[in-house]
Amino acid sequence: MSKENWIVNFQYGLPGFESLTSFSINNIPEYEPFCVFQSQEEPDVSMIIAEPEVIQLNLKNYIPSEIKKQLEITSDSELKLFIIFCFNNEKHLITANLKAPIVINSVLNIGQQVILDNPELNVNYQVVKGISE
């Protein structure tokens, strides 16, 4: 699925943005594989996301079957996962939210942000520790 203005519907919005149900995913030119995840209703609400493989992580096995059922995902090829990145320019710190990935059915273009129970998954996993330029 090409990540060019891919529109995904989030029935329940996201924690903190419960009223926003339509988001686009677009590649960031020159910064593959990172994408912009942007609300169609409130364009100021946008985040940087990427598939977990960008930090050598496979989260597919952590997704509960109940979630796959709700998103009508019947095969792995329909399942697309993204993690949200947080950039702290002052501290030169990048963290990734492994605990609440974005789970998408890439055929029906519906998704949810799913909160995973596993204690080993960190909400602010340090991708790049503070490095001074």
Partner 1 sequence: MLVLSRKSGESIRIGSTIVITLLDSRGGESRIGIEAPPETPIYRNELYLKILAENRKAVSGKNPTTLIKKIIHS
Q: How far apart are CA 77 and CA 96, in angstroms?
A: 24
Q: Coil, helix or strand for 132?
A: coil
Query: In what helix (H) or strand (E) does residue 17 lie, and over which residues does it extend?
Result: none
Cα distances (angstroms) measured from residue 121 to each of 38, 59, 97, 98 = 24, 10, 8, 5
Residue type, 114: V
Rg of the chain in Å (alpha carbons): 15
Shortest distance (Å) from residue 66 CB to partner 1? 6
Q: Candidates 1-9, 73-81, 92-100, 103-111 — which segment interacts with partner 1 by CB under 8 A? A: 92-100
- Contact call for residue 85 and partner 1 (CB under 8 A): yes
Q: Indicate which single residue of 58, 87, 108, 126 sits in contact with partner 1 (rule: CB under 8 A).
A: 87
Q: Which is nearer to partner 1, 79 or 97 (CB)?
A: 97
- Contact call for residue 17 and partner 1 (CB under 8 A): yes
Residues at the site binding partner 1, with contacts judged by CB under 8 A: 12, 14-17, 28, 31, 34, 44-48, 54-55, 66, 70, 84-89, 92, 94, 97, 99-100, 113, 115, 123-124, 127-128, 131, 133
